[in-house]
Amino acid sequence: MHELAITESILEIALRHAREAGAERITDVHLVIGNLSSIVDDSVQFYWDIVAAGTPAEGARLHFRRVPIEISCLDCGSRFTPGTDDLACPACHGNRIQIVAGEEFYLEAIDVDNVLRDVPHLIPQPPSPLPMGEEKGVGG
């Protein structure tokens, strides 16, 4: 059930970045999720379809990139991907290990449509500076 809160956070972040970019619509959302994470892709997709409804992200496709577990042995420095539940180093059989990859969870990128910054005449422009010595509203 924690995927609902996570999905709402993803949507909030994606909408904020789209707004800052002047985008009207989000078409794709790219997520990176480590294999040690308890996040279930199908649950995030299910909740996405609900929470994104009626927003500029409605209909956006979610892309999940899973990061495999990688461990570093603190005794010999070897890096490895565990094949089973045994986390001992295959090189020296040491048990002093550190997780290097596999715990990630972040929004990597969003793809958007209709970025208003690409259409200069639709974005309000600041007034042109007056030539030196001229003051606005002073007749002469």
CB-CB contact of 69 with 100 (8 Å): no
| Residue 27: inside a domain | yes
| Residue 77: inside a domain | yes
Count of structural domains, the chain: 1
Stated pTM of the model: 0.74
| Residue 93: inside a domain | yes
In which residue are the tokens 């995927």 written?
3
pLDDT of residue 117: 55
Residue 113's domain comprises 2-119
| Residue 52: inside a domain | yes
Strands (E), 14-130: 23-34, 61-67, 70-73, 79-80, 97-101, 105-115
CB-CB contact of 41 with 64 (8 Å): yes
| Residue 114: inside a domain | yes
pLDDT of residue 137: 41
Q: What CATH number has the domain bearing residue 44?
A: 3.30.2320.80
| Residue 129: inside a domain | no
Q: What is the pLDDT of residues 7-25, one digit of tens each?
A: 999 999 999 999 998 999 9
Q: What is the pLDDT of residues 77-133, one digit of tens each?
A: 999 999 877 889 999 999 999 999 999 999 999 999 886 654 444 434 444 444 444
| Residue 76: inside a domain | yes
| Residue 128: inside a domain | no
